[in-house]
Amino acid sequence: MVREITLGQYLPGKSPIHRMDPRSKILLLITYIVVIFLCKNFVSLLLMSLFSILIILLTGISFLKYLKSLRMIIFVIIITGILNLFYGSGDVLCELWILKITTGGIYNALFVIVRITILMMVSAVLTYTTSPTDLTDGLERLMKPLTIFHVKVHEIALMMTIALRFIPVLLEETDKIMNAQKARGADMESGNVFQRVKALTPVLIPLFVSSFRRANDLAMAMECRCYNGGKNKTRMKVLRFSKIDLAASIISVVIFAAVIFTNTIFQPVI
Amino acid sequence: MSLIRAENISFVYSTGTSFEKKALDNVSFEIEKGEFVGIIGHTGSGKSTLIQLLNGLLKPTEGNIFFDEKNIWDEPKKIRNIRFRVGMVFQYPEYQLFEETVYKDIAFGPHNMGLDDDETDKRIHKAAEFVGLREDQLLVSPFELSGGEKRRAAIAGVIAMDPDVLILDEPTAGLDPLGREALLSQIVDYHRVRKNTVLLVSHSMEDIARIADRILVMSHGKKIALDTTENVFSKGDELEKIGLQVPQVTRIMQMLKKKGFNVDTSVLTVEQGFNEILNCLSGV
């Protein structure tokens, strides 16, 4: 049962996007998100959508996977879309009690839906093509300037890595303990909410105990190897800004510039 | 009439995803009441999947399992009753302990069965005795026990349900030699006294050879054999092909036979081997 939940979303591959430096992926994604909200007319929105499709195609991952990434927020998209229908000015198209649907509202709804959809799919590109270790590595490097404000960047990154690393372990453990308690007749599938929460006690307590045991073991093992944090630590895999990153950055900057340019020359619709 | 009958069961994990994996492939067998069956096989041979199918924790993708001539999935809502009758001790069962006291933890199964307090109390004391836990240990927190004692407590938790079939998945893994011996002999005692059916999964051929009546051999999700212990271990070459070995003493006998000594190669324990060699030498 638990086995079927996938949290680690990384899908290994050899596409140009996979080979990009996680730092450039993160930075470009942030810029991408900003630019998407700058789109004010259909030309720029279309440009961004085409760019998103290009990125998605470049990853070589089946489009179905991206649609699945939308499954979780499909309701958010629909609800924000509907809400936006009623906010906006322009010609009134139809009137229901105090609710008015205007042309502006339709444009708003359309923009919001397209924006959230491509934003989610392109964010999925980052998690699909970057291994969790690369991702935290990239984040650590990007956050490094914060150390002057005494933010413990390395420790935060280490905690993230460990947490990610142990998710599958804990899931497997949960599965085992659930089975063991079910074998003793624990009933976790019926009853009301309170009964179900109570039925989880025989699973949660052993899980906590073993998590602490694991944490203890891991800390001990790290101590034994004289682990002392980020100072002077060298890396097996050094992050490098390669030609692909350069190419990706140039293409992105050109497209982002084009989007902003079209924004200024065409009439904004929202 | 067999107690457990598996008919062409197959099991596939994560059907329909890219992680699809066939763990069991068309396995059929019968186990009689009161038997002591050893289950051997390499890691990933499907042993764990098989035993989880037997007590209804997993549902076979294909095929049927009959307990007491009744298909266990006839009434999916009542699958819990099968779990009470087919008790299962998982690997490292000590990690499932959760109650404040050992007593309460052992009581978890019987309580779920809906037994009254008197009956539960009786069963707890009996189960504790079987696994060799002292009365005063029942009142401490399970987390204060030593590793071996924790395991005994966990096994007692299953025995207290008084199942018709007791399945143990590597109950001696990680115990010291003395602990192994003690636990194994307690399981044998349990089997002898209660006359229950016991299924024991183990990697130790020596242990299996000593205590099992019959052995089920698994490899790559398929049943290779279900035969008497002597017959299974007499085919050393075939076992080696699937990465398993015969008990050391049996191997010695087979080597002696190859060298031309007239010894019986179906020997399974060190004592038998000792006598066999003595006989052979005095015969010469």
What are the pLDDT digits (tens) for B101-110? 999 999 999 9
Helix, strand or coil for residue A184?
A: coil
- Determine, for residues A202 and B96 on separate chains, whether the beta-carbon distance falls below 8 Å: yes
Residue B284's pLDDT is: 58
- Determine, for residues A3 and B143 on separate chains, whether the beta-carbon distance falls below 8 Å: no
Query: Has residue A71 got a pLDDT over 90?
Result: no
Nearest to B177 by CA among B207, B140, B208: B207
Query: Read out DSSP for A51-67?
Result: HHHHHHHHHT--HHHHH
Contacts of B95 in chain A (CB under 8 A): 173, 176-177, 180, 206, 209-210
Rg from Cα positions in chain B: 20
Q: Measured between CB atoms, does B93 come within 8 Å of chain A?
A: yes
Give the residue from B90, B95, B168 with the most A CB atoms within 10 Å of its CB, the best one to mutate. Answer: B95
Of B17, B112, B143, the CB nearest to A184: B112
Query: Residues with Cβ < 8 Å from A228, sequence gap 6 or more?
Result: none
Residue of A nearest to B81 (CA): A185
Residue A110 lies in a domain: yes
Query: Residues with Cβ < 8 Å from B226, sequence gap 6 or more?
Result: B29, B37, B214, B215, B216, B217
Residue of B nearest to A178 (CA): B96
Nearest chain B Cα distance for residue A210, angstroms: 7
Contacts of A186 in chain B (CB under 8 A): 108, 112
Nearest to A121 by CA among A64, A69, A49, A48: A69
Residue B157's pLDDT is: 94
Contacts of B157 in chain A (CB under 8 A): 184
pLDDT-derived band at A234, boundaries 50, 70, 90: confident
ipTM entry: 0.86
Contacts of B108 in chain A (CB under 8 A): 181, 184-186, 202
Query: Has residue A263 got a pLDDT over 70?
Result: yes
Range name among A159-163, A237-241, B90-94, B196-200 with the lowest pLDDT average: A237-241
Residue A257 lies in a domain: yes
Residue of A nearest to B58 (CA): A179
Torsion of Cα atoms, A195 then A200 then A202 then A208, to 10°: -150
- Determine, for residues B13 and A209 on separate chains, whether the beta-carbon distance falls below 8 Å: no
Identify which has the larger pLDDT, B104 or A70: B104
Could you read off the pLDDT of A180-229 as tens digits, one per residue?
999 998 887 777 888 888 888 899 999 999 999 999 999 999 999 988 87
SS3 content of chain A, % helix, strand, coil (to 5): 70, 5, 25
Residue A270 lies in a domain: no
Residue of B nearest to A213 (CA): B95
Domains held by chain A: number: 1
- The pLDDT of A28-47, averaged and rounded, is 91
What does the pLDDT profile of chain B (284 residues) look like in tens digits?
A: 789 999 999 999 877 666 778 899 999 999 999 999 999 988 888 898 999 999 899 999 999 999 988 899 998 888 888 999 999 999 999 988 999 999 999 999 999 999 999 999 999 999 999 999 999 999 999 999 988 899 999 999 999 999 999 999 999 988 888 888 999 999 999 999 999 999 999 988 888 988 999 999 999 999 999 999 888 888 888 888 888 888 888 888 888 888 888 888 878 888 888 888 888 888 75
Identify which has the larger pLDDT, A9 or A253: A253
Contacts of A187 in chain B (CB under 8 A): 80, 112
pTM given for the model: 0.74
Could you read off the pLDDT of A126-141 as tens digits, one per residue?
988 988 888 888 988 8
pLDDT-derived band at A235, boundaries 50, 70, 90: confident
Residue A124 lies in a domain: yes
Contacts of A3 in chain B (CB under 8 A): 13-14
Q: Phi first, then psi: what are they for B111, rounded to 5°?
A: -65, -45
Residue B20's pLDDT is: 78
Calculate the CA B6 to chain-centre distance.
17
- The pLDDT of A47-58, averaged and rounded, is 92
Residue A57 lies in a domain: yes
Query: Has residue A4 got a pLDDT over 60?
Result: no
Residue B101's pLDDT is: 94
Query: Residues with Cβ < 8 Å from A53, sequence gap 6 or more?
Result: none
Query: Has residue A5 got a pLDDT over 50?
Result: no
Find the domain containing A194 and state its range. Answer: 2-265
Residue of B nearest to A188 (CA): B80
Residue A230's pLDDT is: 67
Q: What is the bridge-based pairing of β-strands B86-89 and B4-13?
A: unpaired
In B137-166, the residues whose Cβ lies within 8 Å of chain A are 143, 157-158, 161
Residue B17's pLDDT is: 65
Residue A2's pLDDT is: 44
Alpha-carbon span A269 to A99, nearest angstrom: 21
